[in-house]
Structures are given as structure tokens and as C-alpha cells.
Structure 1
Amino acid sequence: MPAYSITEVETIDPDAAKEYIRLARAAVGHFGGRYLVLAASPTAAEGEWSGNRRLVVIEFADMATLRAWYDSAEYAPARALASKALRRRLLFVEGYDAQRQTGE
């Protein structure tokens, strides 16, 4: 079942953020991740959304692969840089498998 990394992010250091993006993209690709939403500015249909924040959604084959990416040596340099470059909320969630839910 696919798994998703969902990030609400605000840039706090533009130069460090550029390096983070370069490093993160390479690590995501190494683990077969696919960007579904990249630095989009969402429209809040309900509730509030800060105009400074962007949204990133990355799809991985499954939660094990997503966790392997996040804890990997390939992502470690980007992860170390993230706190300097970004203010973010990072969520991991499993996708919905309709066949599994209906028993087909």
C-alpha cells in the first residue's frame, strides 16, 4: 500500500533551503519516491493557512520504504540541514487501498 510524506513547510534560510532541496530530491529518487505536490501554495477551503507556508507530498511504495528513506544515509545530510533551512511539520500516512477495504 502506498505511503505518503506530507510536509507543511516555510523557508527560513533561502540558501540552505536550496541545498536541502537538492539533497532531498536525490534521496527521494534513490528510494523510488515520487513528488505529487511540490512547494504548492494551497487554497484553504476551511480553516486558516499561512501564506508563507508551502505543501509537499511525496509518494513511496509503502511505509517501510518511506521510513527507510527518512532514516537513510542518503537523506541524512538533508535532514541535518532541514532545521536551519526550514520550519516544517512532517507527517507520514499510509494510503487507502480500496481493494483491501472491500475484500476483493
Structure 2
Amino acid sequence: MPAYVIALVDVLDEEAGWAYARAAQPSILDHGGRYLVAGPVPEPAEGSWPSSRLQIIEFPDMDRVRQWYDSPEYRRAKEIRDGKARVELLFAEGSPPEGFTLPS
């Protein structure tokens, strides 16, 4: 079952943010991840949004998410951004159910 990493990001040091991205992206791709959404300034439709950037990354399954997150390559990427970006991550598993309908 697919699993997703949902990241809310506020970059405090733009140069370090790019260095982190250059280190993190290969680690994500090497673990079977693919970016579904990666863009600045989400547009809130209701309420407020706590971050300036949003990323959604899909992995084949939750085991691959955890392998990526615990990998030495990603640990190095996290060290680069330490104190230079605020990041909140959420891991979620699932896919749209086939034939999903609300009860009448």
C-alpha cells in the first residue's frame, strides 16, 4: 500500500535550504520516493496555513518511508538543515478506496 510523507517547511536560511534539498532528494529517490507536490506558498482555502512550503512525497509502502527516514543519507541531510529550517513531517499510509461512496 502506498505511503506518503507530508512535509510543512519554513526555510530560515535559503542557502542551507538548497543544500538540504540537494542532499535530501537523492536519498528520497534512492528509496523509491517520488515528489507529488513540492511548491512554495500553499494557498489556504479555509483557515490559516502554518508553513510557507508544502511537500507531499509518495513511497511504495510505509517500510520504505521508515528506511528512508532512518537512512544515513537522510540523517546527513537533516544535519544540514538543523536550525536553518522548521520542518513538520507526517507519515500517512493509504490510497483512495475503490468504489468509495458515502452511505445514503
Q: Which interval holds the TM-score relative to the shorter structure?
A: 0.7 to 0.9
CA RMSD, 1 decimal? 1.7
Residues 53-68 of structure 1: pairs in structure 2 closer than 5 A: 53-68=52-67
Per the normalisation by structure 2, the TM-score is 0.86
Aligned length: 99
How far apart, in 1, do the equivalents of 2:39 and 2:81 lie? 15
Identity %: 43
Residue 81 of structure 1: how far off its partner (Å): 2.0
Residue aligning to 1:83:
82
Residues 5-44 of structure 1: pairs in structure 2 closer than 5 A: 5-44=5-44
| CA deviation map 1:19-61 (0-9, x unaligned) | 10000001001101000011242211111025x6110110000
How far apart, in 2, do the equivalents of 1:97 and 1:53 lie? 27
In structure 2, stretches of 5+ residues that fail to align are none
Residue aligning to 1:69:
68
In structure 1, stretches of 5+ residues that fail to align are none
Which has more helix, going by share of residues? 1
Residue 97 of structure 1: how far off its partner (Å): 5.2
Per the normalisation by structure 1, the TM-score is 0.86
